[in-house]
Amino acid sequence: MDILNAVLVLGALGLVLGLLLALASKYLSVQQDERIELITQALPAANCGGCGYPGCGALAVAIVENKAAVNACPVGGAACAEKIAEIMGLEKGAVEEKVAMVLCAGVKSAAKNKFEYDGVEDCTAASLLAGGERACLYGCIGLGSCERKCVFDAIKVVDGVAVVDHEKCTACGVCVATCPKDIIKLIPKDKAYTVACSSKDKGSVMKNICTVGCIACRLCEKVCPTEAITVEDNLASIDYEKCINCGQCEQKCPKKIIHVKAELLNISNFERNGCQIKDKVV
Amino acid sequence: MFKHLLVLAITTIFVENVVLVRFLGICPFLGVSKNTGTAVGMGMAVTFVITISSVMTWLVSNYVLDPLGLEYLRTLSFILIIAGLVQLVEMFTQKSIPSLYNALGIYLPLITTNCVVLGVALLNVQNDHTFEEALVYGISSGLSFTLAIFLFAGVREKLEASDVPQFLKGFPIALITAGLIAIAFLGFAGLQL
């Protein structure tokens, strides 16, 4: 009997409160942007937090408020981004697909060490100790903090330098945020060339500590037909708005640090041939 | 009667301040005390929830649970009532004060598990409060929470601009400040009422 009472009392209490809330939700409902609901449905509903927001609902709100990009969801990938772009009224293909690149090529044989690090296997910890064991203050530390953070298994440390697998990379940006040296950048997927160096040291310094460092010779800047590549603070950088994948900088670079993405080699050859200034190609 | 209720209110607000003397509701006290505006908003939301919930729980406890001998259901049914009320407050603020809704963020639904609210409801029963006492106790507990969080937020706003040693910046100095304010409130313990 007691049990029945208890069940009844709690049940009645729940019912009364439920009715009250149902009424309240009718009179106090807030007109929400309907796109929020649509985008929430388009998202994978994994609530993994990979985008940096607390769950898919919060990301949907951020997208509608233009605080997040339509391709902010690292899990849904391109298909999901396209759906959301459609909901947001953006044109198809307006979503620029990106991919992470490690802007350092200082493998163990190329970049000198200034001391031997024998501490915690973590890039942030190592970088706190005189900037890490590498003589170059800007280079990859190679202890794999990014590798451990990547949920897609897309970044690996090979011979002391992190390398991104572009097939697996979803441009979620976790490695970009993790890297204490800030040398991982998201670049457009359809652009073939990157400057694989982040050093702002002078050429004379660079020559002595790394064989694959930018020496700021400005040859790439001079050869670029669209002024897309510029040297600032002793470092060449590419403006991807202007870059046309012609590849002349890659050929000119005396240090061979302008890299071409392997999987885009064919595309870039095609584009290189189709490009108007092909006569200039040496 | 009136004098008795006044004494109860003053005791609750100053002498037995829920946050600074009883140490209830520390989570929102530290969480949303970065600026005074939000802090007062949070205080008002908590005051509303405590007042209504302490009345409701008193009624449920005295007219439903006690006669049926279901005292053991107290905590459970109190939580149910509080959760329902918090939902109501959440809907209300989202509708009428969206800026406050956004500022409070996650702390608003967390009032549900705020121990001030449940604590006041349970203390009402424990101290055999009458209906009027429960009502006054609820309001003044809410006000005492508001007072504490408002004072604390004021100090924290000043702290933002002051030269705090690097290792104490942010949360550590906030905790020390909270402790100092609590000590200051101990001064009220000598109040003869």
What pLDDT shows up at residue A275?
40
Range in A237-241, A271-275, B36-40 the model is least confident about = A271-275
Q: Nearest CA to CA, how far is B36 from chain A (Å)? A: 26
For A229-261, letters b (16+ CB in 10 Å) and e give bebeebbbbbebeebbbbbbbbebbebebbbbb
Q: Distance (Å, rounded) from C-alpha A193 to C-alpha A255?
A: 15
pTM value surpassing 0.80: no
| Distance (Å, whole) CA A189 – CA A263 | 10
Query: pLDDT per residue over A179-191, tens digit each?
Result: 999 999 888 887 8
Residues of chain A that touch chain B, judged by Cβ-Cβ distance less than 8 Å: 2, 5-6, 9-10, 13-14, 17-18, 20-21, 24-25, 28-30
Q: What does the alpha-carbon distance between residue A26 and residue A29 come to, in Å, rounded to a whole number?
A: 6
* Residues of chain A with C-beta less than 8 angstroms from the C-beta of B94: 28, 30
Total of domains in chain A: 2
Determine, for residues A10 and B94 on separate chains, whether the beta-carbon distance falls below 8 Å.
no
Structure tokens given for B64 = 């439903």
Q: Which domain holds residue A63?
A: 34-88
Region A100-105 average pLDDT: 88
pLDDT in tens, A140-156: 998 989 998 887 888 88
Domain identity same for A77 and A181: no
Residues of chain B in contact with residue A24, where contact means CB-CB under 8 angstroms, are 87-88, 91-92
* Whether pLDDT at A263 is above 70: no
| Closest CA of chain A from B112, distance in Å | 14
Q: Which of A256, A253, A240 is nearest to A190 (CA)?
A: A240
Residues of chain B where predicted confidence (pLDDT) is lower than 50: none
- Tell me the per-residue pLDDT of A154-178, one tens digit each, with 9 for 90 and over: 888 888 889 888 888 877 778 888 8
Interface test with chain A among B82, B88, B99, by most A beta carbons within 10 Å: B88
pLDDT over 80 (residue A132): yes
Residue B162 gets which letter from DSSP? S
Q: What letters, b where the CB count within 10 A reaches 16 and e where it falls short, cover A82-118? A: bbbbebeeeeeeebbebbbbbbbbbbeebbbeeeebe
3-class SS at B12?
helix
Percent of chain A residues topping a pLDDT of 90: 4
Q: CA separation (Å) from A185 to A118, A176, A179, A198, A266?
A: 28, 6, 10, 10, 23
Q: What pLDDT is recorded for position A233?
A: 87
Respond yes or no on whether ipTM tops 0.90.
no
Q: Say yes or no: A199 and A157 in one domain.
A: yes
Query: How far is A242 from chain B, CA to nearest CA, in Å?
Result: 41
Residues 6+ apart with CB under 8 A from A274: none
Specify if A1 maps to a domain: no
Across chain A, mean pLDDT equals 81
Reading the block at residue B111, the tokens are 């009032």
Which of chain A's residues have a Cβ under 8 Å away from the Cβ of B59? none
pLDDT of B181 reads 93
Of residues A51 and B11, more confidence is placed in B11
**Closest-CA residue of chain A to B60:** A13
Angle between helices B131-161 and B2-10 (to 10 degrees): 30
d(CA A176, CA A215): 24
A127 & A259 share domain: yes
Beta bridge partners of A258: A195
Q: What does the pLDDT read at residue B155?
A: 93
Asked if the structure places residue A17 within a domain, the reply is no
Nearest Cα neighbor of A173 from A51, A76, A63 is: A51
CB B107 within 8 A of CB B34: no
Q: Which residue of B57, B70, B85 to mutate against A (max A Cβ within 10 Å)?
A: B70
Residue B112, H or E segment: none
Q: Under a CB-based contact definition with an 8 Å cutoff, are residues A170 and A219 in contact?
A: no
Taking the C-alpha atoms of residue B84 and residue A34, their distance in angstroms, rounded to an integer, is 26
For residues A65 and A164, membership in a common domain is answered with no
The answer to whether residue A23 sits within a structural domain is no
Cross-chain residue pair A9–B88, CB shorter than 8 Å: no
How many Å lie between the alpha carbon of A77 and the closest alpha carbon of chain B? 29
C-alpha distances out from residue B128 to A44, B119, B125, Å = 52, 14, 5
pLDDT of residue B143: 95
Q: Does B70 touch chain A (CB under 8 A)?
A: yes
- Same domain (yes/no): A183, A262: yes
Residues A130 and A249 in one domain: yes
Nearest to A232 by CA among A251, A255, A248, A214: A214
| Residues of B with Cβ-Cβ distance to A28 under 8 angstroms | 91-92, 94-95
* Domain match, A161 and A51 both: no
Q: Locate A168 and state its tokens.
A: 């697996």
Residue A70: which CATH number? Answer: 1.10.15.40
Question: Do A104 and A84 have their domain in common?
Answer: no
